[in-house]
């Protein structure tokens, strides 16, 4: 039986942005930000096997978040990744999709659209 609440990993280098987004996502009855990280190194301390959806900023302080998407996919093939990026140049977009992201969104995306994207990813499992 599938869990009712989908577990989210939220990785973004900007603390205030990440924490505010986590608060908003946690207001949804079916979503829970179970883990937050501000860097690739911090994410490596997370048990990735419990994640349903990873929301990743590709511009992290210690490297390229696209690498992290690959690591999440290897550690937990059932987890799906969304990219939330302030810059959506075509090369970055294709790199993220090639690494296994199911969707790439701009940080300009409305919160309700982001929540819908998280739900789509969670239901695609």
Q: What is the pLDDT of residue 47?
A: 79
Superfamily holding 6-123: Response regulator (3.40.50.2300)
Half-sphere exposure in the Cβ direction for 85 (13 Å, CA): 23
Above 70 in pLDDT, residue 23? Answer: yes
Q: Is the pLDDT of residue 101 over 90?
A: yes
* 6 contacts 53 by C-beta, under 8 angstroms: yes
Judge residue 33's burial from the number of C-beta atoms within 10 Å of its C-beta, 0-12 exposed, 13-18 middle, 19 or more buried: buried
Q: Which helix (H) or strand (E) holds 101?
A: strand 101-106
- Angle 73-23-76 (CA atoms, 0-180°, nearest 5)? 10
pLDDT at residue 34 is higher than 80: yes
- pLDDT at position 2 is 54
d(CA 68, CA 79): 12
**Which residues face 35 on adjacent strands?**
9
Mean pLDDT on 14-43: 95
Per domain, the residue ranges of the chain are 6-123
Name the residue with tokens 């280098």: 13
pLDDT value, residue 49: 85
Per-residue pLDDT for 1 more than 70? no
For residues 97-120, give the mean pLDDT. 93
DSSP H stretches of helix in 27-89: 40-43, 65-75
Q: What is the pLDDT of residues 45-88, one digit of tens each?
A: 887 888 999 999 988 999 989 999 998 888 899 999 999 988 77
């Amino acid at each position: 039986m599938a869990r009712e609440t989908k577990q989210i990993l939220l990785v973004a280098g900007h603390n205030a942005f990440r924490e505010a987004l986590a608060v908003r996502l946690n207001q949804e009855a079916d979503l829970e930000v179970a883990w937050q990280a501000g860097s690739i190194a911090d994410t490596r301390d997370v048990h990735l096997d419990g994640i349903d959806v990873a929301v990743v900023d590709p511009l992290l302080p210690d490297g390229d978040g696209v690498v992290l998407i690959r690591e999440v996919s290897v550690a937990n093939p059932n987890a799906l990744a969304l990219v939330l990026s302030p810059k959506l140049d075509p090369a970055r977009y294709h790199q993220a999709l090639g690494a296994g992201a199911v969707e790439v969104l701009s940080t300009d995306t409305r919160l309700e659209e982001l929540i819908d994207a998280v739900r789509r990813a969670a239901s695609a499992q």
